[in-house]
Structure 1
């Protein structure tokens, strides 16, 4: 599970990809429309735009994707810590977390010391057993 800021960054990247895809699709598949109604419609033999229904349907799907991704981003933003919390409360939370971190670091140091002591003890036992075996032979 990633943190919320990473999730937010990923969603923003995805939204940019969706927006780019939407603009690219519209640019590549729109039908030409003359600026002046009196001008003839430009045609290109290599360009076969989708039907009006297909084009509208694709636009609807792309806009739905944009809306859903935007809602997901807003939901992540709403769940970020500190939203709706004043500065004093944030500072108290930070201080409490700092105290908790210091306690955890102390527990970690003690666990490492205990591990080192046990490792030294096991090494001395191995040496004693090895010496005992060597003297009995």
Structure 2
């Protein structure tokens, strides 16, 4: 699994791709309408229309709205994923001193665990030596 920063960068890249895909969808599937009284819809010549991509055609209003809604939901979900990744990054709510204190605390815990491990190894060796002594003291009948 990648680290949090790599996951965040991947999510931001995916969000950018989703933005581009959304713009492409809207651009390619909308029907042409004027926004103002002075606006004009440009009529394309047949040569220009032949050069257009085959999937460029308006869809029904219901399909277009459903597509827009789905794209918007996808964008919102990706944004929420990014927010979650940002929230778990270390240091957002901690100052540098807090982080240093946490590192020192973890180092102390590590030293204590290492000491316990050493004691357990020493105890194991003592038990093994006693067992070996008992085994050697046993005589055959």
TM-score normalised by the chain length of structure 2: 0.57
- Equivalent residue number for residue 44 of structure 2: 39
- What pairs with 1:97-136 in structure 2 (closer than 5 Å)? 97-122=106-131, 124=132, 127-128=135-136, 132=139, 135-136=140-141
Q: Which runs of 5+ in 1 are unaligned?
A: none
Which segments of 5 or more consecutive residues in structure 2 lack a partner in the other structure?
Answer: 33-40
Taking the TM superposition and a 5 Å limit, the aligned residue runs for 1:10-89 are: 10=7, 12-14=9-11, 16-17=13-14, 19-20=16-17, 23=20, 27=24, 30-31=28-29, 37-40=42-45, 42=49, 47=55, 51-52=59-60, 53-89=62-98
Please say if residues 11 and 69 of structure 1, whose CA atoms lie closer than 8 Å, have aligned partners that are also in contact. Answer: no
TM-score normalised by length of structure 1 = 0.59
Higher relative contact order (CA 8 A, sep 6+): 2
Question: How many residues are paired up?
Answer: 128
